[in-house]
Structure 1
């Protein structure tokens, strides 16, 4: 029997008219939850860093160009600090991909020492080195079974697409400059908006096909992102996402009945669309351009020919002219391979090819499952987009997503990162 002793002048129960004072309890956050949040914040800062601020693009918020660039570039410093804070004691995992990436960063730094615009080239090379260093510090979290980095990346893409939709609702005339949808809250060119929405569509579909995303969430994501992609009139992103989703679906075809059903429905929709909306699709793909403009790849062909005709020494053939802003005589290069050749030469091209081939081969020989499907989608998207977009040899969304694919093919996944 348990006895309870009540001091004199008190009662064992609450008196009428009096309330018991309850001290609020502080919510205790587990160390693993705090680490996961800091890893997510690090990745979010990396995404912000590659969202280049374009002061010349139309935007609603009165953000000065220097402030916008400082926010974007300062995010890399914040990501490095956050990665060092969460990775204590300092631990990194050995990775062939990271070794190749760090070699590319060092080669870019050495090539930039002889660049015509030295300060700009050195800044871009140091940024690439810092970018690779942060990704290296995140390697302990590459093997998580919960796909922490993939889900964080998808959340960031949803946020970017949502900001574009809000800008379109608030100022449709400003958002649809030249009949192509761009970001207005944060100045994002239509091609990048198309890229972000396409990758969001692809990740959503592959996660749903793998049974890792609820149908309602996937449906909302696709119904929002597909119109955004179509309004940007970005042909490269559309072709890349179709190729990536198809390859990822093939890798899951024998394992998931929903994949087989989705392929059957997609085939029917594609056939009906080709029969009924063929002229509309052709008009959309032409984007108001005539046959000559399409044949010249919207002016890209002239720039590419000029790059190949550029006089260069044997050292410049091997190591390039140093990292540039991916333009030639004031015109965008719009080709990862020619841009890489111009900046870091044949050696840089070889290292970039090694990055892509390593991820592709590792993903192909990985056991069937979500990790393999997601990796195949991302690497296929990057390969297709690389012919008319640049970014695999510099700090960019494409390099970030290729690294995301590399994290998915890394050895045996574990549940948590380091403690």
Structure 2
């Protein structure tokens, strides 16, 4: 009997043996792994960016692209038998994927366009399989996303410590271990700061944890010199904070302190802020949005047939004549036409309207932060019409305002 009791204690996680995870916790770990694989999939490998690890470009791309297939298999294993929740947002995502496939059939670079459309379809399928976990009260997907953002930022900080000259190429912080351009590093840092701040304002995160996170992430954001991420972060926190203003005294105190700090900073550090925003560019370059306006005007002036105007030219790498488009709206129009633009607008409006009818609280505030961030960033960044971090974060916003989000999920 003593031997049986010892074995039982070990299986139960007693002091004499390793703890065995319950089926529910194992399922939760697998859901987190699926989300982490989605983050890896959108963590595009840029072989042209400086990095210190000898990772061939083909191997890096294989790692990111194969992670989506692994995520699909793992999602099917954790959601067995397959059960999904009805969702207007997922329907719009599926419509976007179908429209991208239609547009890509007649693309000039057929293989690349069909590959990107197929990737988007798989991406949407995995997100659909995760809908049973949208209603969890512990905000599992939001906390998981924040955790993986910190893993990415941790690799950036390690790269900065290991090879500061490589990480700070052109005086902008990028990934030195895994080649991540400064704009993406700035995006990850801004979203991490925003989610951490809103969670703390909502009373769902300890002050010490929030403070450490912000103190580490804000310098990363500033070192990337990414103006879009900074402006989108401030706009998102402002809108999310206003949604909590009447119900949380912590928000009112923080806004008062923030307003005082902003006023003092504007009076004493105005020249420093102006220099940071200028990023070494003259007035003409800033007015031209670092060359973006020329690309946008060329896209708008390019001749198109009626079909191409409505349905686009097929999913591309978001470049035009070898130059990055750097606009979600022009990029969407170029790839999947006016129909694609209409679907993306419908997705954003749906999340905003759903958030409007949500009761005041953390879920609404987090959703408003994410959708506000995506809207502001969409003017100089692309991604809402393709598998990207922006689409992943907009999906997070949609799950937060889901109609059954106030109830605990069945899983």
The TM-score range, normalised by the shorter chain, is over 0.9
Aligned equivalent of 1:320, options 272, 291, 312: 312
String of CA shifts for 1:228-259, please: whole Å, max 9, x gaps: 00000000000000000000000000111110
Whichever of the two has the greater Rg, that structure is 1
String of CA shifts for 1:16-72, please: whole Å, max 9, x gaps: xxxxx9657133321110111110000000000000000111111111100000000
* Matched residue, 2:72: 80
1:187 equivalenced with 2:179 (yes/no): yes
Aligned equivalent of 2:293, options 301, 307, 313: 301
* Matched residue, 1:405: 397
Aligned equivalent of 2:10, options 9, 20, 25: 25
Please give the alpha-carbon distance, in whole angstroms, between the structure 2 residues aligned to 1:245 and 1:161.
20
| Shift in Å, 1:417 | 3.8
Which residues of 2 match residues 226-375 of structure 1 at below 5 A? 226-375=218-367
* Matched residue, 1:44: 36
* Matched residue, 1:222: 214
C-alpha contact 1:241 1:381 (8 A) present in aligned 2? yes
C-alpha contact 2:399 2:405 (8 A) present in aligned 1? no
Name the TM-score, length of structure 2 as normaliser.
0.96
Which residues of 2 match residues 137-156 of structure 1 at below 5 A? 137-156=129-148
Gaps of 5+ in 2: 12-18
| Shift in Å, 1:412 | 2.8
Which residues of 2 match residues 70-219 of structure 1 at below 5 A? 70-219=62-211
C-alpha contact 1:49 1:73 (8 A) present in aligned 2? yes
Please give the alpha-carbon distance, in whole angstroms, between the structure 2 residues aligned to 1:90 and 1:414.
23
C-alpha contact 1:59 1:186 (8 A) present in aligned 2? yes
String of CA shifts for 1:126-155, please: whole Å, max 9, x gaps: 000100010000000001000000000000
| Shift in Å, 1:416 | 4.8
Please give the alpha-carbon distance, in whole angstroms, between the structure 1 residues aligned to 2:82 and 2:89.
19
Kindly report the root-mean-square deviation, in angstroms, between the aligned alpha carbons of the 2 structures. Answer: 1.1
Stretches (4+) displaced over 2 A: 21-24, 412-419
Please give the alpha-carbon distance, in whole angstroms, between the structure 2 residues aligned to 1:362 and 1:290.
42
String of CA shifts for 1:313-363, please: whole Å, max 9, x gaps: 000000000000000000000000000000000000000000011001111
String of CA shifts for 1:259-298, please: whole Å, max 9, x gaps: 0010000001000000000000000000010011011110
3-state SS, counterpart of residue 25 of structure 1: helix
| Shift in Å, 1:411 | 1.3
Please give the alpha-carbon distance, in whole angstroms, between the structure 2 residues aligned to 1:208 and 1:31.
30
3-state SS, counterpart of residue 194 of structure 2: helix
Report how many residues are paired.
Answer: 399
3-state SS, counterpart of residue 178 of structure 2: coil
Please give the alpha-carbon distance, in whole angstroms, between the structure 1 residues aligned to 2:296 and 2:222.
27
Gaps of 5+ in 1: 1-20
Please give the alpha-carbon distance, in whole angstroms, between the structure 2 residues aligned to 1:100 and 1:69.
28
C-alpha contact 1:146 1:415 (8 A) present in aligned 2? no
